[in-house]
Structure 1
């Protein structure tokens, strides 16, 4: 159309320049009228002031010029131009020169149309007297081009940005932000158990599920142009000017929580999960490729540590991946080599302090690394499919130990979703009961809500088979996963276990956890179920649980998990009454460690050893006789600086209280909310590799970051001990 229009345009304008088109006759006028009647375009003519003296009837109708043209300026028919481009219609007409295919917009009755306008100046005796021009409605072509452009840059299924567009956007953002060292966070999200939906419900259901997932992500992020589907069940989000890991952790948690809520697909209910990896520029990489690689490493770490969680990138992830591989190799032989043990944590009736049962907890006594936390090796066991073998061994060992206990104490054994899904699991339970001859009512199987991911007759049949054996069933970690009251209505549970994440924050003044626990207890009472609160450590938690009428309590306030021999020794007479012991108030959980860090004071840098860490403080070692009240900047590495005040000081150890609390790193650890970029650290003179040869002076320069000086006396500096 455009080629034909341009060819006829030249002929028609040349002819019209010699003939007065509105009233003229002959071939030129016939040519113009034929061209216009075929819908190939319209002609216009102005005087030297830009006022129309002719406009084709078709264009007049489309542009809403229903009356005479007298005094109507051509420019007034179109909307004001957007942007600062020089090729606008007002600009080219003001130059009084020839112009071609200038794009303009018009609006009539709320409908916007696009036009391509061309014009040629007319001169009489060398004096400009106006324009002769041509215009064509290009709305259809314009919309088609925009649609093609949208399809080229967006995922056709979800409407989100596609991989190519997101890559371009991230690259452009990082390039623009680099000169000012502005931050940009990127998240990689991988759906957990999506393949299961595709395999069981079909690809059409999988596509519908992805569309709902995309909608949920956009609602959490709040901007559709920041969310991308990379392909399959992988998504990416970018968050410019965001490096607050507290905020990013909250966003990641909201994404996981939202995605993990049940979906309805063609009348069927399905549940999936999500894992999130987070990397932040410039701390975790300047360029697009480096940043994405590190976000992918963080995502892998999140999936490897149990799925359904987020993880920030840190430089240790490469080493951690290798350590995990070696640990998995060792775990394959741990059972055969007798390295696994079962410890028992008492479950106590809160009103009497009498032990009513125990929970069996597996422990791994590694020959080189000592006791390894279940938080490290259980996810490895689940991913490597060792969990079925280990789970069966724990079940049989717990039943065998319980058979020799005096009295009728119950033993609770955790059952993974993988074990529960095994059709042979009820037979394994029956075999363990038969071989040890314990009363089935003494065995309590703790089952998480993950077993409901595949609802239907298989799950119901498994519950019926287990209850047919006479064992008790407890719903573990209630409220942390895929909670639904329908589970309690359909599954024959005898107990609800309240997860310790609710207990930890319940004593806070503004906490909603108290109301949640009260509701769980009321629900359990109405259904004739017991309740157990996990993770009770302080007396304020303990008193609150009694006040809320929680039936049973489990936690360090009574006892940590202990070996079977120690447990039996406490059962003299068949009963064990434990007096609760613990701090008066809940305090932040501390993680024991032995790690090199540094402290900054009075523009000097001192290497110290971090002995333990919590969200609100730390214990350091390596400086002597530091006055209480001294303020440090604690350097945790990787740009993590936090202001801390010495609250306790004894010989070479100091207890620090943080000015700003640390936040979760998504993997059970803690990290600073905001980091200082490596460029600022270098400018401030912070040593890149901490050394143990005494204090290091931190340089200062105008216009560069200066760490605060707190005026500590210098007499103890000389006595600082290299860590």
Structure 2
């Protein structure tokens, strides 16, 4: 083996190794030795020899200790270095050559528990992040001999469990999730809790991409099965990103970043998905960085605009609402899809600036049209958590003299599972603002909260409307949602009905309230005013 590879392997090994000269001073240490003794391997290895007395205060005379480490035979002694807060260590000493000796540290059997605690996650009993980093650095160094792959697993909807049921339930759930993971793994696989609701799995044996994806899908299936905790039925999911070691990696951070990009792709696709890292994801990450930079300049450069979609009630043929929709026309990127820039804006903290700019722009442009129609805003998730959301929104209503009853906020279902989201929705409702819920009902917790929330309407998602033209199952789903709404006393509205076929299928007994019929493409404010004028003339 190449001497450089061997040196790097020893350096990054999980063994705490040091080399000493004939005088008993340390000349080189491995990274794990550095972790235990608090010596910085990079700095101290380059700074010259380290005297052993600077490293340990031992329970025997220092001169006797120096005599022991320069002795021409192997031996094991015990000390309690003050740098390690009394953690007892066995020091194994051996001769390499006449001029060089080796020192290997290990936990003394009486204190091994302390060392285990340094490597163990206190909640789940799994290995912790420090072990994850040490092992991957070793694996990458030895990639010519060791096949390795990693999975990053992030739990979907776990935050909602903490918010609705409390952190003690969340902690118990994490323990149960860890148990389900263990049942699917082999004896050589390493299961690690990175932190929060994120886990990592390391596979040091050769596994094909198909095998890894198959295992990841089984993990998702297992985690998605209902948990029962304190009489609560809890449904979560898991998103997974996979990366495989090859000779292109120089450190674990790059491997982790690639697995994290794959994980982000899984979550961006709706969660409960598996993604393998590919160079395409790197390209997507670069595009995301361009979007980040562009978003920060977009409002200043006036690249955003509000367009409008009037909605017709098919019974009265009147315009009952106007959807206000934001578009971003970047000088650099052209028109950017909302699905591309919105999650990025949310992640980098720009979403509140954009959202309140849309509110103000729409109030300013449409206030003369709101005597007979409601102005609707579709929130995409996360906006309600903004500081002083209610106060800032009310300030805009007063500024432009908009009646709260002429404004509707259509809020994603998951927002109501967050305690703060529910509090803000209630406060907005007390102002008189109409609160509607978008997306289908997905679980027991959603139904539990619906009865206690000030919901004016439930909207059936566009994807069901579109699919109803092709599948009777979608029609049944819409009928089921409508029935749930009727039982709860909440009108259910079909959203974005665009074609005559869609209209005819829904008009009968499937979903009686079809206020979402869209008679025109998206309009700017001038086109919207013209539309209102011509539509009123048509009704007359």
User: What TM-score range do you get, normalising by the shorter chain?
Assistant: 0.5 to 0.7
Cα separation, partners in 2 of 1:292 and 1:550, compared to 1, 3 Å: farther
Cα separation, partners in 2 of 1:473 and 1:339, compared to 1, 3 Å: same
2:283 aligned to which of 316, 319, 322: 319
CA contact (8 A) 1:301 1:321 kept: no
Cα separation, partners in 2 of 1:358 and 1:279, compared to 1, 3 Å: farther
CA contact (8 A) 1:532 1:553 kept: yes
Q: Report 1:209-228 matches (<5 A).
A: 209-215=173-179, 228=191
Greater Rg over alpha carbons, structure: 1
User: Whole-Å Cα distance in 2 between the matches of residues 545 and 176 of structure 1?
Assistant: 62
CA contact (8 A) 1:304 1:383 kept: no
User: Whole-Å Cα distance in 2 between the matches of residues 473 and 489 of structure 1?
Assistant: 13
Alignment size in residue pairs = 418
- The structure in which a higher percent of residues are helix is 2
Cα separation, partners in 2 of 1:515 and 1:368, compared to 1, 3 Å: same
- The structure in which a higher percent of residues are strand is 1
Residue deviations 1:21-48, cap 9 Å, x none?
xxxxxxxxxxxxxxxxxxxxxxxxxxxx
Matched, 1:526 2:487: yes
Q: 2:361 corresponds to which residue?
A: 397
In structure 2, the residue corresponding to 1:479 is in which secondary structure? coil
1:366 Cα offset (Å): 0.7
Q: CA RMSD in A?
A: 5.0
Matched, 1:379 2:346: no
| Structure 1: 5+ residue stretches without partners | 1-149, 179-183, 579-723
1:492 Cα offset (Å): 1.0
User: Whole-Å Cα distance in 2 between the matches of residues 517 and 277 of structure 1?
Assistant: 33
1:443 Cα offset (Å): 0.6
Matched, 1:410 2:374: yes
User: Whole-Å Cα distance in 2 between the matches of residues 255 and 384 of structure 1?
Assistant: 33
User: Whole-Å Cα distance in 1 between the matches of residues 364 and 407 of structure 2?
Assistant: 11
Cα separation, partners in 2 of 1:552 and 1:279, compared to 1, 3 Å: farther
Q: Report 1:462-501 matches (<5 A).
A: 462-479=424-441, 484-501=446-463
Q: Report 1:540-555 matches (<5 A).
A: 540-547=501-508, 548-552=510-514, 554=516
Q: Give the TM-score, by structure 1 length.
A: 0.47
Q: Report 1:133-282 matches (<5 A).
A: 157-158=123-124, 187-191=151-155, 207-215=171-179, 228-233=191-196, 234-236=198-200, 240=207, 243=210, 254=221, 264=229, 275-279=239-243
1:330 Cα offset (Å): 2.0
| Structure 2: 5+ residue stretches without partners | 1-115
Cα separation, partners in 2 of 1:489 and 1:297, compared to 1, 3 Å: same
Q: Give the TM-score, by structure 2 length.
A: 0.61
Q: 2:522 corresponds to which residue?
A: 561
1:436 Cα offset (Å): 2.3
CA contact (8 A) 1:476 1:498 kept: yes
Residue deviations 1:353-392, cap 9 Å, x none?
6542122111111112211111111111111121112111
1:171 Cα offset (Å): 7.4
Residue deviations 1:426-463, cap 9 Å, x none?
222322222222332221011122323433xx555433
Matched, 1:426 2:387: no
CA contact (8 A) 2:310 2:323 kept: yes
Matched, 1:517 2:493: no
CA contact (8 A) 1:209 1:263 kept: no
1:232 Cα offset (Å): 1.8
CA contact (8 A) 1:256 1:309 kept: no
User: Whole-Å Cα distance in 2 between the matches of residues 217 and 501 of structure 1?
Assistant: 33
